[in-house]
Amino acid sequence: MAGWRGDKRGWWGDTYRPQIIGSRLWLLSREKQLPETLARAEEYTREALQWLIDKKIAESVEVSGAWAGVGRLNFAVAITSPEGQIYRYSYLWSAQNAV
């Protein structure tokens, strides 16, 4: 995508990489806490982790989010390796990080 809607605001190391690995979660910083916003946050998180599948590091990536209070999202991420091992991560994304 072109323009700010496609801007992933990636990691500083992306300066030296042909493919950036950031996310579009920053676009939600001024959004209301609605089901649609949560769905987009999950979509943006899956999109940001897609490179793991593309590079064959992961077989699949599952993301689920839930509101954890005013201006805070909690993400649960399950990454399945090609060997079938499941790695689970939880991340709290708060107002200081954009939502």
Overall domain count for the chain: 1
Q: What is the pLDDT of residues 43-89, one digit of tens each?
A: 999 999 999 999 999 999 999 999 998 888 999 999 999 999 999 99
Q: Are 41 and 65 in contact (CB under 8 A)?
A: yes
CA–centroid distance for 67 within its chain: 15
Q: Does pLDDT of 2 surpass 70?
A: no
> Residue range 21-38: average pLDDT?
89
Put the strands of the sheet holding 73-80 in their side by side order.
Answer: 60-67, 73-80, 86-93
Instruction: Name the average pLDDT for the chain.
Output: 84
CATH code for position 80: 3.10.450.40
Q: What residue numbers bound the domain in which 54 lies?
A: 4-97
